[in-house]
Chains A and B, each alone.
Chain A
Amino acid sequence: MEDVTLVVLILDSTVRLSAPLVLAALAGLFSERSGIIDIGLEGKMLGAAFAAAAAAAQTGSPWAGLAAGIAVSVALALLHGFACITHRGNQVVSGVALNILATGLTAVLGISWYARGGRTPPLGADARFLPITLPGAEAVRDAPVLGALYSELLSGHSFPVYVACLAVPLAAWTLYRTRFGLRLRAVGENPLSVDTAGISVPGLRYRAVICAGILCGVAGTYLSIAQSAGFVREMTAGKGYIALAALIFGKWRPLPATGACLLFGLLDAVAIRLQGTPLPGIGEVPVQFIQALPYVLTVILLAGFIGRAIPPRAIGIPYVKER
C-alpha cells in the first residue's frame, strides 16, 4: 500500500512539473512546424509569468492574470514574428534577444514597481488558480489503488494543468485534422507550394507564432499564479529550453513531444524525491546527473543514436516571395 502511495505521489508531482513543459512544447510545435525556430519559449514564459503575477496582484483575479500573461506572451511572439517573418531576420538571434530582453525587463520592472528584489507581492488564495477537486474525489479516496489514482492523480490540480491536458489532443487534432493544420505543416516543409496555392505564407506563420504565444502565456501564468504565489526572478529556470529539448525529442510531433515532457517531468519528480537516498545496486545518484539527463538524452537523440530527429524542412529559412 505504501508503495502505491509513493508511486501515485511521484506521478502526481510529475503531472505538476510536466504541465508547463507540455504547454511550452506545444507552443514550440506550432511555431516550428510552420518553419519558425522558437528559441524564445523561455522568454515568452518568463514575460507571461511576470505579467500574470503583476495583474493578479493588481486586480485580485487569476483570470485577469491569465489574460495579462497571454497578452504579454503574444506580444513577444509578435515581436519575434515581426523580426523573422516581416524582416526575415535570423530566427535564432531573434529568439535569443527575446529571452535576454524578458530576463532584463521582468527584473527591471519588478524591482522598480514592487521594490522586493524582483518579486511581485505575494498573492492571496483568491488571486491564484487553486487546486480543483473533481466531483467524488473525497468519496473514493479510501478505495484501494483506483481511489488514490482518482483523488490524488486526476483530481486536485489547478485550472492550467487541465488546460495542458486538453491542449494535447486539441493541438494534435488541429495539426493533423484541420485545414489550418495541413497548411501549417505545409508552410514548414515547402512554403513555395503554399504560396503557389494562393495562401499567404506570412499570414500562416504569424498565426502559428500567435498560437505559440497563447500556449506560452498559459504556461507562464501557471508558474507564477498556480504553482507558486507570485513571480520570482528567472522563475522559468530553463523550462523553456527543456520544452524545446522535449519537442526535438518528440521529433516535432504532438504526442511524442508530450511523452518527452512527461518523461522529463518524471525525472525531475524522481530527482526531488530521491535526493540523498541510495538506489539499490547503483548507489547514490547525484542530483545534478538527473538534472542534466534531459539535455544529455536530447543530445544523444540528435546524434542519431535513438532514431533520427528530422526537423521541418523549411525551418529557419526566411521565405522570400519571387518577384
Chain B
Amino acid sequence: MTPAAARELPRWATAGLLPVLNLTAAFVVSGLVVLVIGEDPLKVVRLLVWGAFGFEEAIGYTLYYATSFIFTGLAVAVAFHCGLFNIGGEGQAYIGGLGVALVCLNLDGLPFWLLAPLAIAGGALFGAAWAYVPAYLQAYRGSHVVITTIMFNFIASATMVYLLVNVMIQPGQMQPESRAFSADARMPFMHQALAGIGIDLAASPLNLSFVWALICCLLFWLFIWHTRAGYALRAVGANPTAAIYAGISPARQTMIAMLISGALAGCLGLNELMGVQHRLLLEFTGGYGFVGIAVALMGRGHPLGIVLAAILFGALYQGGAELSFELPRITRDMVVVIQGLIILFAGALEFMFLPLLTRWLIRV
C-alpha cells in the first residue's frame, strides 16, 4: 500500500530517509518515556551502547539475541512479501522448539554433522506444520490468517504446557522441563568452535545457530529475488488479481509463504534450546516471535535490513539487561516499549512523514 505521493519521490528518499525519520521518531518518544520516569536519556543510551558492545562478552550476547530475531524477522518478512501478516511466529517457534527437542532427545547417539541437519529439519517441519492450518484456512476457506494465527499462538501455548507438565517432564522433577540434552546433542558455542581453529573469544551464549541464521538470510535473498517461485510469491503480495492473470495461484502462494514462514520461526529452537538451554522448557520463546514483527518492518523485508534490525534489537536486549544493573528503575521492559513504538512508527504510521518530506524535497 504505497501512496501515490511516495512513487513521485526518489528511491533514496522513500527507502532511506523515511525509515530513518520513523526510527528517529520512535527513539525520541522512547527518550521522552525515560524522561518521564526521571532518568537522563543520554545516560541511558550511553549505558545501553556500552552494555551491548562495550566488551567482548557483550557482543557475543548481542549476537546471540540477534540470532533469534533473525529467524523470527525472516519469518514475518516472507509472509509480508506475499501480502500476509503472520502474527503466529510465537506459536510456530514454540512448536518448532518441540521438533528440535524431540530430535535432540531421541537421536542423541548420532554424530553432530548428522544430528544438526536433523534438528534443523525437526524445527522447520514442526514450525511449518503449526502454520499449515492457518495457511490452509486463509488460502482455501477464506478465514483471515491474522485471527487464526493469534488463536494458534494460544493453542500452542496450552499444548506445550500440557506436554511439558504431563508427558515430557523428567520423572521425579517438579519443574516442567524435559531432561537435559546429552553433550553431543548441543549446538557448539561460538567460542568453543572458534577455539578449535585458534581464535580466542570470551565465553558467551553465541552459538553456531548464528551461522545457520546467516545462511537462512542468504537463502531468503536468493529465493525471494532470484527464483521463479519467489517472483510468484511477490507477485501475489503486490497484486493478487494481476497474479491470477499471470497464471499464479494466490492460494498456492499463500500456502508456500506461510509454510516457509513457519519453518523459519521453528528454527528459533536451535538457538534457544539446542544452543543455550539444552532442554525443552516453558515459555522459551519469550515474545521473540513478536519482536520479529518489529524486525521485519524495520528491515523493510530485506535480509540485510533484517540482520541490522536484529542486531539493533539484540543490542537493546543485551544492553537493556546491563542497564538494569546500573539503573534498577529501568528494566528490560523499556525494550518492549521501544519495540512497540518501532512497530507503530515504522509500520502503522509508515507514511506519516511523507507529506512533510515531499514538501521539504520540492522546496529544496
Contacts and interface: CB of A to CB of B under 8 A. Distances in A.
Interface of A: 37, 39, 79, 82-84, 87-94, 96-105, 107-109, 111-113, 115, 118, 238, 241, 244-245, 248, 286, 288-289, 291-292, 295-296, 298-299, 302-304, 309, 311, 318
Contact of A93 (B37, B297, B338): B297
B38 interface: yes
Given A93-B297, A289-B162, A298-B151, A83 B349 contact: yes
Contact of A101 (B141, B166, B341, B349): B341
A238 B153 CA distance: 11
Contact of B337 (A82, A108, A302): A108
Contacts of A292: 154-155, 158-159
Contacts of B330: 108, 112
Closest 8 CB pairs of A and B: A101-B340, A104-B336, A94-B348, A104-B337, A302-B143, A89-B348, A100-B340, A107-B333
A236 to B, nearest CB: 13
Interface string B153-179: 011001101100110000000000000
A88 B290 CA distance: 22
A247 to B, nearest CB: 10
Contacts of B337: 101, 104-105, 108
A244 B290 CA distance: 19
Nearest to A95: B348
Given A104-B334, A112-B38, A90 B162 contact: no
B166 A96 contact: no
Contacts of B181: none
Given A104-B336, A112-B330, A292-B159, A97 B343 contact: yes
A92 B87 contact: yes
Interface string B312-342: 0000000000000000011101111111110
Contacts of A289: 158, 162
A96 B87 contact: yes
Question: For the complex, would chain A's binding face be called helix, strand, loop or mixed by DSSP majority?
Answer: helix
Contact of A303 (B33, B143, B146, B333): B143
B87 to A, nearest CB: 7
Interface of B: 1, 3, 33, 36-38, 85, 87, 133, 137, 141, 143-144, 146-148, 150-152, 154-155, 158-159, 161-162, 165-166, 290, 293-294, 297, 329-331, 333-341, 343-344, 347-352
A288 B161 contact: yes
A108 B33 contact: yes
B331 A105 contact: no
A262 B101 CA distance: 38
Contacts of A102: 340
Contact of A96 (B143, B152, B338, B343): B343
Contacts of B36: 109
16 contacts: A82-B349, A89-B351, A92-B87, A92-B146, A93-B85, A100-B336, A102-B340, A103-B333, A104-B334, A107-B331, A108-B33, A108-B336, A241-B150, A245-B151, A288-B159, A295-B158
Contacts of A286: 162, 166
B331 A108 contact: yes
A46 to B, nearest CB: 12
A296 B87 contact: no
B282 to A, nearest CB: 12
Contact of A111 (B133, B297, B333, B335): B333
Contacts of B143: 302-304, 309
Given A90-B348, A108-B33, A288-B158, A96 B290 contact: yes
Q: Which has the most chain B C-beta neighbours within 10 Å: A96, A288, A311?
A: A96
B141 A302 contact: yes
Contacts of A303: 137, 141, 143
A311 B144 contact: yes
Contacts of B141: 302-304
B25 to A, nearest CB: 12
Contacts of B1: 88, 90, 318
Contacts of A84: 348
Given A100-B336, A100-B343, A112-B37, A87 B351 contact: yes
A244 B150 contact: yes
A206 B33 CA distance: 26
Contacts of B294: 100
A248 B148 CA distance: 11
B114 to A, nearest CB: 34
B158 A97 contact: no
Given A108-B333, A109-B37, A304-B143, A100 B339 contact: yes
A283 B347 CA distance: 48
Contact of A104 (B85, B339, B349): B339
Contacts of B87: 92, 96
Contacts of A93: 85, 293, 297, 343, 347-348
A163 B328 CA distance: 40
Nearest to A89: B348
A200 to B, nearest CB: 20
Q: Which has the most chain B C-beta neighbours within 10 Å: A109, A113, A292, A304?
A: A292
Contacts of A91: 348
A288 B133 CA distance: 20
Given A108-B37, A299-B152, A302-B148, A96 B162 contact: no
B158 A90 contact: no
Contacts of B339: 100, 104
A96 B336 contact: no
Contacts of B133: 299
Given A100-B339, A245-B147, 19 more contacts: A37-B146, A39-B146, A96-B293, A97-B341, A97-B344, A100-B294, A104-B334, A104-B339, A105-B340, A107-B333, A108-B330, A288-B158, A288-B162, A289-B158, A289-B162, A296-B155, A303-B143, A304-B141, A311-B144
